[in-house]
């Protein structure tokens, strides 16, 4: 079994390259894989794992008002796509291996085996 990450990346209005590079560092170094003692002490780089990045504007859904989610805070494709590609490229450099992604804005089906599960939300606007 290969270890890896499925990263659902949502770009919000106002995000910049600063957010991208902070997030790449956080993702690449986050210790979420088990060491030989079964403790979450290893990063994706430590385990020479893989990553797949999928653009996901729906992560920015606001459900505060009414029953239809609003995606008003999600960045428009003109901003989101270049930052998505920058994230993939920077993560590939950090991991020293290719980081595949889907076709930006396309409907996709992703199949995975979720061994854990570990699901973590990281927001560059709330870095603490």
In 10-118, at which residue ranges do the beta strands (DSSP E only) sit?
A: 33-34, 40-42, 50-55
CA 111 to chain centre: 16
Q: Give per-residue burial for 29-60: e unless 16+ CB within 10 Å, then b.
A: ebebbeeeeeeeebbbbeeebbbbbbbbbebb
Known active-site residue 16: no
Active site residues: 58
């Amino acid at each position: 079994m290969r270890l890896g990450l499925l990263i659902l990346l949502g770009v919000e209005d106002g995000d910049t390259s600063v957010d991208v590079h902070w997030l790449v560092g956080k993702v690449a170094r986050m210790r979420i894989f088990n060491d030989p003692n079964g403790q979450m002490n290893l990063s994706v780089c430590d385990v020479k794992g893989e990553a797949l990045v999928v653009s996901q504007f729906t992560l920015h859904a606001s459900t505060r008002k009414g029953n239809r989610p609003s995606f008003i805070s999600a960045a428009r494709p003109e901003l989101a796509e270049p930052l998505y590609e920058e994230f993939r490229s920077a993560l590939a450099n950090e991991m020293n291996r290719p980081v595949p992604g889907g076709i930006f804005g396309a409907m996709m089906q992703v199949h995975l085996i979720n061994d854990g599960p570990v699901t973590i939300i990281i927001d560059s606007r709330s870095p603490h």
